[in-house]
């Protein structure tokens, strides 16, 4: 039985600009066929094991001919798979969706066309250029600029197109910008007409070049301005001087690698996106319930003794989460800890406890085990019993220090940290091109696991591959792990929190007064 093909518009580049339906298609796909204009972050929504086939075209070569792509979609569907053809922008605007759908129709394969946000209007918007304006342009034309001059002349009636609408949008016409400009001038547009080229709009590489029909070819050559780009011709280009906004966001132009577990990454990813950066998620750790009977036996014993503890020190939000999972699995009641003092190391840990109805004592001065001893050392009494719900990779420093003070310490391994990280060709490509501007580490495990994952992808010296990226660590312990591994740490967050890490990123990228003003307005 044949499967089904979804011909999905991926939007202009920013992953958040895909439609809800497009995202749903990706999430249920058995196979995804994509090109280079689709954001690599979109592939992160695919289920584990989803087949991914790159068929993108580069300016100097065709990876796969269109006829071969058409056949590939059909063959995958005939295997019974749900197939997503992910196309940049909208699939019906110069996306050749008609050819792909036609073959599917001929073969009786079910398909749907899922519209996307076209780059012809969204990319200029990210550059501060509205394609229409009440006083300047009430209509627009979207025109291909990717063909050879003789083809352009056959496809475009220059005498009619030139003045048909207030704004002209040329798609993929960087290499032909001189010819396009000359034709428009020849057929009546003033040489002083403003022109803007927006390259990789909505992405970290977004760059805008402004000129006039008379000088834009010279400007493109002088700047070595490369495709892909959207070309805007018309008076609306002047609006950019007043309306440009993306360039002023604190993290504009920066692609930032996020390595923490996907279940924990949402807050950091959201903040990066909110501040104009482009997060690239590559989780290298995950947390799981222990499966060793020896470890589980220790947890059960700790749960049986809940009423005997004088202190419970939660050192991470994960520790809180898994503690309550085990509490439920063992059929125990949190009221057994009524006589214990419950301490949270760090505000995130404190918030995780508050969400479960526990107002813990929150250690806010230093969010490390050392700070805990500094704060509570004077009131810790020999002979007291302490419970430490923690992960299997937690440092031994804290329990050893507590034991040295004469306390009885029970370490309960509530969760295990495991290495994850699929082979990721796109990440490798970005790292080799120096297109990952910053790497964030939120624990020592993220450092060691990223380096190990890169080795598994064939990188002999992963620390050297990361030399072109700025390294950001959430705290001194993580920073030391990174430095011991041969990485040069650019900044360590002042506090071991996501907000402090984001602040460090913003300060690093605050290279102009407008971004500094944005930081002040955001209280960063």
Report, as residue numbers or ranges, the catalytic residues. 35, 57, 172
395 DSSP 8-state letter: -
- Would you say 131 and 236 are in contact if contact means Cβ atoms under 8 Å apart? yes
Residue 362, classed as helix, strand or coil, is strand
- Where does residue 37 rank: exposed (0-12), middle (13-18), buried (19+ CB within 10 A)? buried
The H or E element that residue 293 is part of is helix 293-304
Cβ-Cβ contacts under 8 Å for 322 (sequence gap 6 or more):
287, 289, 389, 414, 415
Cβ-Cβ contacts under 8 Å for 191 (sequence gap 6 or more):
185, 212, 213, 214
Residue 308, classed as helix, strand or coil, is helix
Q: How far is Cα of residue 114 from the mean position of the Cα atoms in its chain?
A: 23
| CA proximity to 7, closest of 85, 90, 104 | 85
Residue 492, classed as helix, strand or coil, is strand
- Would you say 395 and 477 are in contact if contact means Cβ atoms under 8 Å apart? yes
Residue 468, classed as helix, strand or coil, is coil
Residue whose tokens read 């955001």: 522
Cβ-Cβ contacts under 8 Å for 348 (sequence gap 6 or more):
316, 317, 497, 498
SS3 content of the chain, % helix, strand, coil (to 5): 40, 20, 35
Alpha-carbon distance of 135 to 519, in angstroms, equals 34
End-to-end CA distance of the chain: 56
| List of E strands, 347-452 | 361-363, 385-391, 408-419, 438-441
Instruction: Tell me the two tokens of residue 324.
Output: 């309550």
Cβ atoms within 10 Å, residue 380: 17
Complete DSSP assignment for 26-62: HHH-SEEEE-TTS-HHHHTTSPTT-EEEE--EETTEE
Rounded to whole angstroms, what are the CA distances from 191 to 140, 182, 187? 19, 9, 11
Alpha-carbon distance of 190 to 281, in angstroms, equals 47
């Amino acid at each position: 039985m044949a499967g089904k093909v979804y011909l999905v518009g991926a939007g202009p580049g920013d992953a958040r600009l895909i439609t809800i339906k497009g995202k749903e298609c990706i999430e249920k796909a058995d196979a995804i066929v994509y090109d280079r204009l689709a954001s690599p972050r979109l592939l992160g929504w695919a289920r584990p094991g989803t087949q991914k086939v790159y068929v993108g075209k580069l300016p100097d070569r065709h990876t796969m001919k269109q006829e071969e792509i058409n056949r590939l979609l059909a063959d995958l569907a005939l295997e019974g798979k749900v197939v997503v053809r992910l196309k940049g922008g909208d699939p019906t605007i110069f996306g050749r969706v008609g050819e792909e759908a036609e073959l599917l129709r001929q073969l009786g394969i079910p398909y749907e066309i899922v519209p996307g946000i076209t780059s012809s209007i969204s990319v200029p918007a990210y550059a501060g250029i509205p394609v229409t304006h009440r006083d300047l342009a009430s209509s627009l034309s979207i025109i291909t600029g990717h063909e050879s001059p003789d083809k352009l002349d056959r496809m475009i009636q220059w005498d009619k197109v030139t003045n048909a609408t207030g704004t002209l949008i040329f798609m993929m016409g960087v290499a032909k910008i001189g010819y396009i400009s000359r034709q428009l001038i020849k057929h009546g547009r003033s040489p002083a007409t403003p022109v803007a080229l927006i390259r990789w709009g909505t992405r970290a590489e977004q760059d805008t070049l402004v000129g006039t029909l008379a000088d834009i070819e010279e400007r493109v050559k002088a700047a070595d301005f490369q495709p892909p780009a959207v070309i805007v011709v018309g008076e609306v280009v002047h609006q950019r001087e007043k309306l440009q906004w993306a360039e002023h966001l604190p993290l504009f132009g920066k692609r930032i690698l996020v390595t923490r577990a996907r279940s924990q990454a949402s807050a950091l990813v959201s903040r990066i996106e909110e501040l104009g950066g482009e997060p690239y998620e590559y989780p290298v750790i995950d947390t799981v319930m222990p499966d060793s009977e020896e470890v589980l036996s220790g947890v059960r014993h700790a749960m049986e003794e809940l009423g005997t503890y004088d202190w419970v020190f939660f050192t991470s939000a994960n520790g809180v989460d898994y503690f309550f999972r085990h509490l439920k699995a063992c059929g125990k009641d949190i009221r057994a800890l009524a006589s214990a003092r419950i301490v949270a190391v760090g505000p995130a840990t404190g918030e995780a406890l508050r969400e479960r109805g526990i107002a813990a004592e929150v250690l806010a001065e230093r969010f490390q085990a050392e700070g805990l001893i500094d704060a509570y050392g004077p009131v810790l009494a020999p002979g007291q019993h302490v419970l430490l719900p923690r992960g299997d990779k937690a440092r031994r420093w804290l329990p050893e220090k507590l034991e040295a003070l004469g306390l009885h310490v029970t370490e309960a391994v509530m969760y295990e940290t495991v290495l994850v990280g699929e082979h990721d060709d796109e990440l490798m490509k970005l790292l080799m091109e120096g297109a990952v501007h910053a790497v964030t580490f939120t624990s020592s495990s993220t450092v060691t696991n990223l380096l190990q994952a890169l080795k598994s992808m064939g990188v002999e010296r992963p620390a050297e591959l990361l030399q072109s990226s700025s390294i950001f660590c959430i705290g001194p312990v993580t920073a030391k792990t990174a430095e011991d591994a041969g990485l040069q740490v650019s900044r360590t967050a002042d506090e071991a929190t996501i907000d402090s890490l984001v602040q460090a990123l913003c300060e690093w990228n605050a290279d102009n007064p407008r971004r500094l003003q944005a930081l002040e307005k955001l209280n960063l």
